C-alpha cells in the first residue's frame, strides 16, 4: 500500500484555493486539477468513479457481504481556504517531535510556539507535518482526502475485509459555503455519511453553527481635504464606526463552546466608498437571527446619523445547525464512538465551531456528522497535522464500515 504520508504530500502540492468572488462551480478551475487526479486514482484502484461538470467526484464500492447492509459514505473537500495562500506549499516533516517550539521559517523567524499552542506537547514523539511559514498546509481538508483514499486502498487490496456498499465523495468550494450546492444526494447513493473534516484526533461532531455571510457597504462623500469641513463623509471612518457598534465580547477571539460571534474577515475602501465583509455564527437559531438583526440595527443607526443610504447590508445564508437532522439517527454517532474506542481513541463529542459539507447534506436528506481529520490551526500559516492522527482516522473509517456490515449480518 502507498503510505498515507505520500498521498497527503501529493495532494497538498496542488493549489486548490476556492474563490468567494467567483460565481462559477467550482469557483476556481485549479480545484479541478486535484479532483480529476482523485477520480483517476480511484479508477486505478478499481473503484467505479466519475467527476461531473461541477467538480463532484463520486466513487462506489459494491458490497461483498449481501444487500442488507446500508450504504455508508465518506466525504472530504478538495478546496483550501482563501484566507491564506495555498500555492507552492512546502511541507516540513518533523519526525520524533521533541515537544518544543518549532521553527517554521528561518528568514522570518516564524515559529509554532508551545506557549501559544500548548496542545503541541501532546504530540511529542510523533511525526508532525507543518508549513514553511509562507502558506497554509492544506490539511483542511486534504488530510481527510488522504485518509479516505488510504481506507479505500485497504478495502480494494484486502478482499477478505467484509463491507457493505461504500460511497466516496470529494467536493469543491466547501470553504466558501458552496460545497454541496449542486451535490446530487440521490446519485451519491449513501443512506448515511461522514465528513472527514474535523480537527484534533478524537473529535466527533453533529452540531454546528447556523451561518451567514454579510457585506456592509458604506457610501461616503469625497471633498478636497482643504475644503472638507462640514461636507466630507469618510467611508472608511464611518465603516470603522459601524464596526465599533457591534458587541466586542461577541468576536471570535472572546468566544468558545456554544457562543456565537460576529467576525470581520475583510475590508476595502476609500474615502468615497468602503466595504466590510463579515461572517455571522451561532448554534442557537434565536440568537443567530438576533445577530443578523443587530447588524441591520447598526446600519440603521449610521443612516440616521449620516443620511439614508450611507450604509447598506446584504446577508446571505450559508448553512444551518445539522443537530436536528442527525440526532434521530444517533446510531451513526454511536458507531463512530465505538470505531474510535477500538483504536484507543477517547472520543470528544462536541459542537463544531464552524461548519462542514455535512451540515447542508444533512438537510438534503443525508445524515452526515463530522469526524476528525487530525489537523490544527486551519486557514493559516501555522497549520500542522500529526501523521499518527491521519493514520488513526483511516482506521476509524474502516471500523465504521465493519460495524455497518456486522450489524446487518447479526440482524440477518
Q: Which residues are catalytic?
A: 79, 174
CA 394 to each of CA 49, 90, 149, 160, 387: distance values in angstroms, whole numbers, following the listed order: 20, 24, 8, 18, 11
Q: Which residue is listed with cell 466586542? A: 248
Query: Of 333, 341, 343, which is closest to residue 391 (Cα–Cα)?
Result: 343
* Own/partner pairs, 83-87, CB within 8 angstroms, 24+ separation: 83/136, 83/265, 83/379, 83/380, 84/135, 84/136, 84/379, 84/380, 84/381, 85/17, 85/134, 85/135, 85/136, 86/15, 86/16, 86/17, 86/135, 86/136, 86/138, 87/15, 87/17, 87/135
CA 12 to each of CA 125, 171, 266: distance values in angstroms, whole numbers, following the listed order: 24, 15, 25
Sign of CA pseudo-dihedral 127, 132, 133, 137 = negative
Cα–Cα distance, 356 to 208 (Å, whole number): 8
The distance in angstroms from the start CA to the end CA of the chain is 33
Amino acid at each position: 500500500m502507498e503510505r498515507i504520508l505520500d498521498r497527503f504530500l501529493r495532494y497538498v502540492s496542488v493549489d486548490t484555493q476556492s474563490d468567494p468572488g467567483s460565481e462559477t462551480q467550482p469557483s476556481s478551475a485549479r480545484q479541478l486539477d486535484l479532483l480529476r487526479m482523485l477520480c483517476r486514482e480511484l479508477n486505478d484502484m478499481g473503484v467505479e468513479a466519475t467527476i461531473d461538470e461541477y467538480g463532484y467526484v463520486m466513487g462506489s464500492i459494491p458490497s461483498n457481504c449481501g444487500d442488507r447492509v446500508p450504504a455508508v459514505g465518506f466525504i472530504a473537500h478538495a478546496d483550501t481556504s482563501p484566507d491564506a495562500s495555498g500555492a507552492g506549499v512546502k511541507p516540513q516533516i518533523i519526525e520524533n517531535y521533541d515537544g518544543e517550539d518549532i521553527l517554521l521559517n528561518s528568514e522570518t523567524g516564524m515559529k509554532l510556539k508551545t506557549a501559544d499552542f500548548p496542545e503541541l506537547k501532546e504530540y511529542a514523539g510523533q511525526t508532525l507535518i507543518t508549513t514553511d511559514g509562507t502558506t497554509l498546509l492544506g490539511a483542511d481538508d486534504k488530510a481527510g482526502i488522504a485518509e479516505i483514499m488510504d481506507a479505500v486502498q485497504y478495502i480494494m487490496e484486502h478482499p477478505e475485509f467484509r463491507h457493505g456498499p461504500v460511497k466516496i465523495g470529494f467536493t469543491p468550494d466547501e470553504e466558501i459555503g458552496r460545497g454541496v450546492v449542486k451535490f446530487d444526494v440521490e446519485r451519491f447513493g449513501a443512506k448515511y455519511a461522514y465528513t472527514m473534516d474535523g480537527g484534533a484526533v478524537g473529535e466527533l461532531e453533529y452540531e454546528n453553527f447556523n451561518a451567514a455571510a454579510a457585506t456592509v457597504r458604506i457610501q461616503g462623500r469625497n471633498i478636497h481635504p482643504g475644503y472638507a469641513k462640514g461636507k466630507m463623509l469618510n467611508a472608511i471612518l464611518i465603516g470603522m464606526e459601524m464596526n465599533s457598534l457591534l458587541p466586542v465580547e461577541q468576536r471570535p477571539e472572546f468566544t468558545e463552546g456554544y457562543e456565537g460571534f460576529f467576525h470581520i474577515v475583510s475590508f476595502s475602501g476609500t474615502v468615497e466608498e468602503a466595504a466590510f465583509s463579515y461572517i455571522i455564527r451561532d448554534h442557537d437559531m434565536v440568537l443567530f437571527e438576533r445577530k443578523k438583526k443587530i447588524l441591520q440595527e447598526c446600519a440603521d443607526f449610521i443612516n440616521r446619523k449620516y443620511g439614508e443610504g450611507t450604509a447598506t447590508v446584504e446577508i446571505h445564508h450559508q448553512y444551518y445547525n445539522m443537530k436536528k437532522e442527525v440526532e434521530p439517527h444517533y446510531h451513526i454517532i454511536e458507531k463512530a464512538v465505538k470505531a474510535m474506542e477500538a483504536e484507543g481513541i477517547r472520543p470528544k463529542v462536541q459542537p463544531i465551531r464552524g461548519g462542514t459539507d455535512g451540515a447542508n447534506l444533512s438537510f438534503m436528506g443525508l445524515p452526515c456528522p463530522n469526524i476528525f481529520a487530525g489537523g490544527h490551526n486551519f486557514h493559516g500559516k501555522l497549520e500542522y497535522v500529526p501523521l499518527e492522527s491521519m493514520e488513526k482516522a483511516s482506521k476509524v473509517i474502516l471500523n465504521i464500515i465493519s460495524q455497518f456490515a456486522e450489524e446487518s449480518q447479526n440482524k440477518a
